Amino acid sequence: MDSTPENEPGFDLGVQEPAQSASNGASYRVLARKYRPQSFEDLIGQEAMVRTLSNAFDTGRIAQAYVFTGVRGVGKTTTARILARALNYELPGEVDKPSIHLARPGIHCQAIMEGRHVDVMEIDAASHTGIDDVRAITDGARYAPVSARYKVYIVDEVHMLSEKAWNAFLKTLEEPPAHVKFMFATTEIRKVPVTVLSRCQRFDLRRVDADVLVRHLQTICEKEKVEVEADALGLIARAGEGSVRDSLSILDQAIAHSIGGTGAGKVGADEVRRMLGLADRARVIDLFQHLMAGDIAAAMAELKSQYDDGADPEIVLTELAEFVHFVTRVKVVREAADDLSFSETERNRGRDFAAKLSHRVLTRAWQMLMKGIEEVARSPKPFASADMVLVRIAYAADLPTPDEALRMLADGGAAAAARPAGNGNGDGRWLPRPGCSRLPCRTAHRSPCRRRRPAARPSPASSSAPSRRSSPMPARSATSASRRRSNATCIWCAARTAASTFASPAWPRRPLPATCRRSSPTGPASAGWSPSPRRRASRPSASSRRRRRPTASAACARTRPSRR
């Protein structure tokens, strides 16, 4: 057996890794390969799948085909290799059947985990997509294994197979020989035909939680004898987004960035933040505090300071949205404040904000940030766009919610006067003045619905000029015209009317508010008149129909001369 460092196993097979020389870079293995899981006990964050497979092996209910799906770096191909090792696990004189208890390396374990066993074939479906490749698999499946107990086919990125290749797989997949097992791994399970999924046992590998990743990274740093700050591990775990391989790759990069060639040093949070291009979390929290206080000037100054220090405006807003989400989670589930991926400062200040801010304020800030991040990403001037997003959020922090606005309109300002200023984070500039019956109206008129009605047009009968018609139509009354014009009110008074109308469960008809001053047959609206429901227009009399001239069609109007 080759004993070069490239072929040496990870920490689970009992072989110690020799000391690496700094000058010999060819012998170095990255952390993602060096600490690749070798047994089911080493898999982190996949307890449900491990339990199912353990029970299946204990009871002898081993399926003929498995499909593993999930995001990148959560252990799909690694799980397939471990399962192939468990199927062919053998210790002479001790174990002669499939087992998941892989405490000691078996006679086939080393070759299987390194991908060089003759009976465990790993195929990349991204480069072998045709029907000829699948035909080679089905033809080889008829022959018995050479040395192992089962012949195992591991097909990675199986969703890349063509339609004809899938059709060639179906019969063999449904009734394979007793000595053959199939294992598929894919990141896009929706592209796999349902006829194939129905023939396999499916396992969805979930993202690894951030606190689990932090503990796993801390264990690896202890084995590597590297000193890393806890906040730096939290940043790496959040940047990995639940992927173990991504987190280990970032950790490997952070060690090379911070320690350097001397081998001495410490991986700090500031170095990791600069390496990843992230914004300072403490300054992001300060920015959030300025926004919730409605202090637009301080918020814009903080964003400008971070921009001058090299922070990307889009990343600043993304970090701000992540903190809003964290505060919302802490408000709903208090145990979320114990997440180790966040620093102690973030957890403490998150608890304070969760106790002071309401769900409506946090939800509104989240929605505006999501919209603002898209605008900043598409804008030719990201800093200016981010500045305007902060202005909108800070201005909205002092505005009432829609239900509060309707309640204020219904109560005529009484509830607004009793309500504390703002939402606990502003100076209450949105509140109306005492005695005011509306919010600041943004229509053209200054006072509420006091529009000047134009004078009624004189009827044709009272005009001194002779009419061209011998028998004119009856003139419309000025009262009905003014009634139609008075129905056009501003949105604030319309909301006030709706709030007062629907306040009672029975929805009784109430007099219109005196501020609208609508005209009516008997006087202003304050006199108790309310508009009657619209009635169907009465049919004109026979004499009126006879006096009307027939209307020519559009085609006849162009050809016939007009009669005077």
pLDDT at position 249, please?
Answer: 92
pLDDT at position 462, please?
Answer: 45
The percent of residues above 70 in pLDDT, for the chain, comes to 66
How far is Cα 529 from Cα 41, in angstroms, rounded to an integer?
Answer: 81
> Do 193 and 168 belong to one domain?
yes
pLDDT at position 28, please?
Answer: 81
Sign of CA dihedral 307, 308, 311, 316: negative
> Do 305 and 159 belong to one domain?
no
pLDDT at position 526, please?
Answer: 42
CATH code of 214's domain:
1.10.8.60
In a domain, 60, yes or no: yes
Mean pLDDT of the 151-164 span:
91
Q: Count Cα atoms within 13 angstroms, Cβ side, for 551.
A: 3
Q: Is the pLDDT of residue 251 over 80?
A: yes
In a domain, 406, yes or no: no
Cα end-to-end span (Å), the chain: 115
CB neighbours of residue 54 within 10 Å: 14
275 and 257 Cβ atoms separated by less than 8 Å: yes
H or E element, residue 183: strand 180-186
Lowest-confidence segment of 204-213, 301-310, 313-322, 532-541 by average pLDDT: 532-541
In a domain, 255, yes or no: yes
pLDDT at position 539, please?
Answer: 57
In a domain, 309, yes or no: yes
pTM for this one?
A: 0.61
pLDDT at position 106, please?
Answer: 85
In a domain, 319, yes or no: yes
CATH code of 305's domain:
1.20.272.10
Mapping DSSP onto H, E and C, the string for 110-121 reads HHHHCCCCCCEE
How far is Cα 17 from Cα 225, in angstroms, rounded to an integer?
Answer: 13
102 and 40 Cβ atoms separated by less than 8 Å: yes
Lowest-confidence segment of 43-57, 122-136, 470-484 by average pLDDT: 470-484
How far is Cα 451 from Cα 351, in angstroms, rounded to an integer?
Answer: 51
Q: Is the pLDDT of residue 504 over 50?
A: no
Nearest in space to 54 (alpha carbons), one of 41, 38, 35: 41
> Do 33 and 173 belong to one domain?
yes
Nearest in space to 408 (alpha carbons), one of 499, 325, 323, 292: 499
Please, which residues have CB within 8 angstroms of residue 321's CB and are 6 or more apart in sequence? Answer: 366, 369, 370, 373
The residue among 396, 424, 451 that closes a domain is 396
Angle among Cα 207, 213, 216 to the nearest 5 degrees reads 135
User: pLDDT tens across 50-87, in order?
Assistant: 899 989 988 889 999 999 999 988 989 999 999 999 99
The percent of residues above 90 in pLDDT, for the chain, comes to 22
The residue among 256, 276, 296 that closes a domain is 276
User: pLDDT tens across 78-127, in order?
Assistant: 999 999 999 998 888 888 888 888 888 888 888 888 888 899 998 888 88
Q: Is 512 helix (H, G, I), strand (E, B) or coil?
A: coil
Nearest in space to 185 (alpha carbons), one of 166, 168, 162, 203: 203
How far is Cα 407 from Cα 537, in angstroms, rounded to an integer?
Answer: 38
CATH code of 197's domain:
3.40.50.300
In a domain, 310, yes or no: yes
Would you list the DSSP string of 85-136? Answer: HHHT--BTTTB-S--S--SS--TTHHHHHTT--TTEEEEETTT--SHHHHHH
* Residues β-bridged to residue 361: none
130 and 162 Cβ atoms separated by less than 8 Å: yes
How far is Cα 137 from Cα 142, in angstroms, rounded to an integer?
Answer: 9
H or E element, residue 196: helix 194-197
pLDDT at position 321, please?
Answer: 93
The residue among 204, 228, 243 that closes a domain is 204
> Do 184 and 79 belong to one domain?
yes
In a domain, 509, yes or no: no
Q: CA distances (Å), 200 to each of 90, 125, 191, 195, 444, in order?
A: 26, 17, 15, 9, 68
> Do 63 and 197 belong to one domain?
yes
> Do 146 and 53 belong to one domain?
yes
> Do 35 and 114 belong to one domain?
yes
40 and 11 Cβ atoms separated by less than 8 Å: no
How far is Cα 78 from Cα 10, in angstroms, rounded to an integer?
Answer: 13
Confidence of residue 524 (pLDDT cuts 50, 70, 90): very low
Q: What is the CA radius of gyration of the chain?
A: 38
User: pLDDT tens across 403-457, in order?
Assistant: 777 887 877 655 444 444 444 444 444 334 344 444 444 444 444 444 444 555 5
pLDDT at position 69, please?
Answer: 93
> Do 43 and 166 belong to one domain?
yes
- Indicate the number of domains in the chain: 3
205 and 70 Cβ atoms separated by less than 8 Å: yes
In a domain, 157, yes or no: yes
Q: CA distances (Å), 66 to each of 38, 158, 203, 377, 555, in order?
A: 19, 12, 8, 41, 75
Burial class (CB in 10 A: 0-12, 13-18, 19+), 450: exposed
> Do 389 and 306 belong to one domain?
yes
Q: CA distances (Å), 184 to each of 83, 157, 201, 437, 461, in order?
A: 12, 8, 10, 68, 92
Lowest-confidence segment of 150-164, 197-211, 360-374, 457-471 by average pLDDT: 457-471
Q: Which domain holds residue 226?
A: 210-276
- Dihedral angle of Cα 235, 236, 240, 244, to the nearest 10 degrees: -140
Confidence of residue 547 (pLDDT cuts 50, 70, 90): low
Sign of CA dihedral 178, 180, 185, 186: negative
Longest dimension (CA), the chain: 126
Average pLDDT, the chain: 75
> Do 247 and 192 belong to one domain?
no
Please, which residues have CB within 8 angstroms of residue 140's CB and are 6 or more apart in sequence? Answer: 151
Please name the residue that has the structure tokens 């408000």.
Answer: 331
> Do 154 and 231 belong to one domain?
no
Q: CA distances (Å), 531 to each of 249, 514, 556, in order?
A: 73, 14, 43
> Do 76 and 190 belong to one domain?
yes
Confidence of residue 1 (pLDDT cuts 50, 70, 90): very low
Nearest in space to 78 (alpha carbons), one of 244, 239, 251: 244
